[in-house]
Amino acid sequence: MSESTSSRQLRVAVLGVGMMGSFHTQLLSSRVRGARVSVVSDLAADRAEQLAGQVGARVVLDPFEAIAASDVDAVVIATPGGAHEKQVLACLERGIPVLCEKPLTMEADTAYGIVTAERKLGRRLVQVGFMRRFDPEYAQLRELIASGGLGEPLLVHCAHRNPEVPDSFNSPMAITDSVVHEVDVVRFLLDEEIVAVTVLKPTPTPRAPAGVSDPMLVLFETASGRLADVEVFVRTGVAYEVRTEVVGEQGSAIIGLDTGLVRSTPDGRRGGAITPGFVERFGLAYQHQLEAWVDAALGGTVTGPGAWDGYAALAVCDAGVGAVATGARTLVKMEARP
């Protein structure tokens, strides 16, 4: 263990400081104990300099130099997805913990390469940014299922709605960028793999560009025969709404109703506010994710969703993208877990 980790300060390099990388940098610098951002890396030098100045970090433009730097004990990867594979492998080669935003890589087989490379090392170093696992509501729901409070879970109903996305956000992206979270949630809550995916495409919203299916209904079948349905609708024009309901043999439970504060107002209405976007809805989850990651990384490992979860999500999304294209029920192709 390096001098700094033994004195309980994890020195973190953040690679990629667009929206998510800046957000992680700010959280690490203001809310998360036991860590500081020592290096900020981005090809956009101005953006990197500005953020580094705010948090007292130095800028290293080349991400691989940042991973190798002597003042770096662990790495957060928030670069575009196409850069992840090589950056994660460089962290594994150096033997330091890494928190990688989804997707772990761009294809299931390259993600499997990371699973096997980590396996060869013999210890866990890769965590994938499936932050919903750290959301208090999701954690409570899993706890309830695991304690047997719902009896055997039978069905999961999910809604994933964004107020808006750019026109370039097409139907396959709704699977790989949005539904990928429900893939992980279903695996996390039910503790089993998804084996088949079907996608239905109803009449689209007029907000969707020509040829884009929005909303869509996605149906997952799990290995033991349970079903999970996901409504993904990324141009509602309303707000950010993410709900998950689990129906079991002995009752059901739902999260994501945004019922924190319910107000009555002089115009005779009663209601609360819906979060505008995922950073607001999952702000606490992002913070808890980093706290757990820093705690484990100080001990030289990771404990959150790992390389296998990143691989499984990609394998299911591949089937989902296939199902969008063909309209057919599509089997998930997955390697055996090493």
Binding residues (CB under 6 A) for ligand ISE: these are 162, 177-178, 181, 278
Which residue is associated with the tokens 């390697």? 335
CB within 8 Å of 267: residues ≥ 6 apart: none
Q: Which C-beta is closer to ligand ISE: that of 133 or that of 181?
A: 181
Q: Which C-beta is closer to ligand ISE: that of 34 or that of 283?
A: 283
Which residue of this chain has its Cβ atom nearest to ligand ISE in the complex?
178
Q: Which C-beta is closer to ligand ISE: that of 73 or that of 177?
A: 177
Q: What Rg, from alpha-carbon coordinates, does the chain have? A: 20
Token reading at 274: 């819906």
- Work out how close the CB of 46 gets to ligand ISE at its nearest, in angstroms, rounded to a whole number: 24
- Work out how close the CB of 162 gets to ligand ISE at its nearest, in angstroms, rounded to a whole number: 5
Q: Which C-beta is closer to ligand ISE: that of 134 or that of 278?
A: 278
Torsion region of 318: left, alpha or beta (phi above 0 gives left; psi -120 to 50 gives alpha) = alpha
Q: Which C-beta is closer to ligand ISE: that of 151 or that of 276?
A: 276
- Work out how close the CB of 287 gets to ligand ISE at its nearest, in angstroms, rounded to a whole number: 15
Residue 88: count other Cβ atoms within 10 Å of its Cβ.
28
The residue type found at 248 is: G
* CA distances (Å), origin 143, targets 146, 147, 254, 282, 296: 5, 6, 13, 19, 21
- Work out how close the CB of 301 gets to ligand ISE at its nearest, in angstroms, rounded to a whole number: 25
Q: Are the CB atoms for 312 and 223 separated by under 8 Å? A: no
Q: Which C-beta is closer to ligand ISE: that of 220 or that of 278?
A: 278
- Work out how close the CB of 160 gets to ligand ISE at its nearest, in angstroms, rounded to a whole number: 6
Q: Are the CB atoms for 103 and 312 separated by under 8 Å? A: no
- Work out how close the CB of 169 gets to ligand ISE at its nearest, in angstroms, rounded to a whole number: 7
Number of H helices, E strands in the chain: 12, 15
Is the sign of the CA dihedral 273, 188, 125, 101 positive or negative? Answer: negative
Q: Which C-beta is closer to ligand ISE: that of 248 or that of 283?
A: 283
- Work out how close the CB of 205 gets to ligand ISE at its nearest, in angstroms, rounded to a whole number: 15
CA distance 191 to 146: 9
